[in-house]
Amino acid sequence: MIEQTLLEQLVEALRVMPGIGRKSAQRIAHQLLQRNRDGAKHLSRIMADAMERIGHCQRCRTYTENKLCHLCENTRRDDSTICVVENPSDVDSIEETNYRGRYFVLLGHLSPLDGIGPDDIGLNEFKLLLDNEDLKEVILATSSTVEGEATAHFISEMVKASGKEVTRIAHGVPMGGELEYVNSLTIAHALDGRKAI
Amino acid sequence: MIEQTLLEQLVEALRVMPGIGRKSAQRIAHQLLQRNRDGAKHLSRIMADAMERIGHCQRCRTYTENKLCHLCENTRRDDSTICVVENPSDVDSIEETNYRGRYFVLLGHLSPLDGIGPDDIGLNEFKLLLDNEDLKEVILATSSTVEGEATAHFISEMVKASGKEVTRIAHGVPMGGELEYVNSLTIAHALDGRKAI
């Protein structure tokens, strides 16, 4: 067998990225070699550094290379609200809105069949946050999948027991969505959640 | 201004890759951090190594980390034929067929307006290959763009002057292509190039 060339190894290694198949990897490898070796070297350094140094925020569990993430360190955020999400990427999505409260990242959802219980999604740490006097409301923004709903239900019971307010983000027809392309369960939720105008 | 987090730097750096926008870069960064840090570290090492060490084959000008690429070093290839292509990625495409001759990679095409002349696409080196006694046929496989055709024409004159045979790859309807989706210039070429069956 002929040994793999360095270019073949690069194409192979690029496929570690989600959504990058063999053809895309070949195109990326050739383009970087031809047009942007400096950019690729920079990416290589940042990637090694990120994989080595990025851990989880001690308070909200999102990704950070420090003890606390930049959101938890920001003293201007509203301490009265905490938004619970499944993944660090959900924090980015919510940051694009005008929400300015705190976050808590579960890094997953309850899944008893896979042996993922409350402690595995950080609910022991979350309990400590619930004791904070300033906290008034917990917003549950887990996915609207079966596991996400079950996780939201479990956490809502915890929050109620602590005497704080707990809310769930609204489910309904997406903005710009046409009714005929929205599934019936979503429409049922949209009807249930109707508001006076 | 708040300093960029390491994760934001990673997302930014990932966008050096063609076809990767902001959303894809975010998804890739999160997935790698969550599921495959070792794979990402491996990619980072290979990428740095490739960008540093991959140069061009002294004979055919394709990418290689050695003096000669593995195809030029292979003594079993057919020395009587040489296929001229524009880019190293074209070599990969042709290697998927049963062609087993030699290659010559122009690393571009003639483009007088951009100041790219014969020497810039390695035709001085190509001339030396033409002197090889074993060489019988030069196959021109440049793109069927205006520049690719002009480049093919220029090289065909060189080859004819050296007394060797020169051919151009066939242009016509792609395999599996339906006539109604093929442009008229391609159909005209397909008619011109018709064969008795």
CB < 8 Å to A41, chain B:
47-48, 51-52
Q: Do A17 and B32 touch (CB under 8 A)?
A: yes
Categorize the per-residue pLDDT at A2 as very low, low, confident or very high, splitting at 50, 70 and 90: low
Instruction: List pLDDT tens digits, range B127-147.
Output: 999 988 889 999 999 998 999
Q: Of chain B residues 31-70, which have a CB less than 8 A from chain A?
A: 31-34, 36-37, 39-54, 63-65, 69-70
**Do A4 and A19 contact (CB within 8 A), yes or no?**
no
**Do B154 and B108 contact (CB within 8 A), yes or no?**
no
CB < 8 Å to A14, chain B:
43
Size of interface A-B (CB pairs under 8 A): 150
C-alpha distance from A182 to closest chain B C-alpha (Å):
23
- What's the one-letter identity of residue A106? L
Number of Cα atoms under 13 Å in the Cβ half of residue B79: 13
Instruction: List pLDDT tens digits, range B63-75.
Output: 999 999 999 999 9
Question: Residue A161: pLDDT above 90?
Answer: yes
Q: What is the pTM of this model?
A: 0.82
Indicate the class that CATH gives domain A78-168.
Answer: alpha beta
Length of chain A: 197
Q: Do A16 and B48 touch (CB under 8 A)?
A: no
Q: Do B6 and A49 touch (CB under 8 A)?
A: yes
Q: Do A18 and B5 touch (CB under 8 A)?
A: no
Fold of B77-197: Dna Topoisomerase Vi A Subunit; Chain: A, domain 2 (3.40.1360)
**Do B100 and B125 contact (CB within 8 A), yes or no?**
no
Under-70 pLDDT residues of chain B: 1-2
Question: Residue A1: pLDDT above 80?
Answer: no
Give the distance, in angstroms, between the CA of residue A150 and the centroid of all CA atoms in the same chain: 17
- The answer to whether the complex's ipTM is over 0.85 is no
